């Protein structure tokens, strides 16, 4: 297992939105460099295989964990898929899903987690955390029962906020003891740690960060669409700007890390 600076050895739990974002990044930023058709699907499949393999290197057991409830949500979208046969798309979706280690969780406990006293209504209302979202927390708590740490990678701000909140509640920590050992973070925060370990280039990091900032701005404007052209729910300006500020903070860290690496090389020389 490769080491991530600043983090103990950890199981990794990954949300569907992380895979969808990586998929979209290739389709929107890299596919145009390849010939139209099967070459682009081959390139996308290789990109996803490489990035998933990279993430696995930092997992305690060499696996990316998820639940069936979340893994089933993966629906690849992008212009790349417009000219492909349904069977090709299904095969690609099945391939990505098979890269995840799915584990059963007591999903009946999700409503109990949502009812922990003191929760803010917006975290558990119609636009709040779903049962699939909470299945990831239940999985994390389950994995942490061994005493190990767990990294939950998600780009869902509501799930990030709920995780931070529920970990402070004595009632929740008593019922799901492993909650306190979960560290939830955005995918770009995780990849920043990978970047510090010299496993991903500064150029790739900056390109991905610029892309997710653009996507967030598009969601704020209501211009982002998902599978089959269905519009994605727009983000409020307050939430969108908060998310963008997080990505910009990561950009600063990546730049500083790159500068430090360059300085160290100069000293070594």
pLDDT tens, N- to C-terminus, the chain (269 residues): 665 566 678 999 999 999 999 999 999 999 988 877 788 999 999 999 999 999 999 999 999 999 999 999 998 887 888 888 999 999 999 999 999 999 999 999 999 999 999 999 999 999 899 999 999 999 999 999 989 999 999 999 999 999 999 999 999 999 999 999 999 999 999 999 999 888 999 999 999 999 999 999 998 888 877 666 666 777 889 999 999 999 999 999 999 999 988 887 765 54
Q: How far apart are CA 240 and CA 213, in angstroms?
A: 9
Which pLDDT belongs to residue 269?
45
- In a domain, residue 1? The reply is no
CA within 13 Å, CB half, 243: 28
Q: Verify that 20 and 147 share a domain, yes or no.
A: yes
Q: Verify that 132 and 217 share a domain, yes or no.
A: no
Phi-psi group of 15: left, alpha or beta (phi > 0 → left; psi -120 to 50 → alpha; rest → beta): beta
Which pLDDT belongs to residue 263?
84
Whole-model pTM over 0.75: yes
Which residue is associated with the tokens 């969780």? 105
How many structural domains is the chain composed of? 2
Please, are residues 77 and 44 in contact by the beta-carbon 8 Å criterion?
no
Name the domain boundary from 140, 169, 185: 185
- In a domain, residue 239? The reply is yes
For residue 251, what are the CA distances in angstroms to 5, 26, 101, 240, 256? 17, 20, 31, 17, 9
3-class DSSP state for residue 10? strand
Q: Verify that 82 and 214 share a domain, yes or no.
A: no
Candidates 52, 23, 15; CA nearest to 132 is: 15
Distance from chain centroid for Cα 255: 22
Structure tokens at 250: 């990561």
Q: Verify that 111 and 216 share a domain, yes or no.
A: no
Q: Verify that 153 and 34 share a domain, yes or no.
A: yes
Q: Verify that 77 and 102 share a domain, yes or no.
A: yes
Q: Verify that 259 and 148 share a domain, yes or no.
A: no
Q: Which domain holds residue 19?
A: 10-185
3-class DSSP state for residue 239? helix
- In a domain, residue 5? The reply is no
Name the domain boundary from 163, 185, 207: 185
Q: Verify that 158 and 59 share a domain, yes or no.
A: yes
Name the domain boundary from 128, 155, 185: 185
Q: How far apart are CA 217 and CA 223, in angstroms?
A: 9
Residue 183 contacts by C-beta under 8 Å, 6 or more apart in sequence? 7, 10, 149, 150, 151, 152
- In a domain, residue 103? The reply is yes
Q: Verify that 174 and 51 share a domain, yes or no.
A: yes
Q: Verify that 206 and 180 share a domain, yes or no.
A: no
């Amino acid at each position: 297992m490769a080491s991530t600076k600043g983090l103990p050895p950890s199981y990794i739990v990954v949300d569907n939105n992380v895979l969808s974002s990586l998929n979209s990044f290739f389709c929107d930023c890299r596919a145009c460099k390849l010939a139209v058709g099967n070459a682009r699907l081959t390139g996308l499949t290789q990109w996803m295989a490489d990035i998933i393999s990279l993430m696995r290197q930092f997992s305690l057991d060499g696996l990316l964990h998820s639940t069936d409830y979340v893994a089933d949500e993966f629906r690849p979208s992008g212009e790349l898929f417009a000219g492909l046969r349904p069977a090709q798309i299904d095969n690609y979706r099945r391939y990505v899903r098979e890269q995840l280690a799915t584990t059963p969780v007591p999903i009946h406990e999700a409503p109990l987690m949502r009812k922990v006293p003191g929760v803010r209504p917006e975290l558990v209302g119609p636009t709040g955390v779903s049962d699939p979202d909470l299945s990831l927390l239940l999985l994390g708590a389950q994995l942490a029962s061994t005493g190990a740490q767990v990294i939950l990678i998600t780009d869902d701000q509501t799930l990030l906020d709920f995780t931070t909140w529920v970990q402070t509640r004595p009632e929740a920590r008593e019922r799901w003891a492993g909650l306190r050992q979960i560290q939830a973070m955005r995918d770009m925060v995780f990849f920043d740690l990978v970047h510090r370990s010299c496993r991903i280039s500064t150029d790739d990091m900056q390109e991905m960060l610029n892309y997710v900032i653009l996507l967030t701005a598009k969601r704020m404007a209501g211009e982002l669409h998902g599978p089959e052209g269905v519009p994605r729910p727009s983000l409020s300006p307050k939430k969108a700007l908060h998310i963008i500020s997080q990505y910009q903070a990561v950009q600063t860290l990546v730049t500083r890390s790159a500068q430090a690496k360059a300085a160290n090389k100069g000293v070594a020389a």
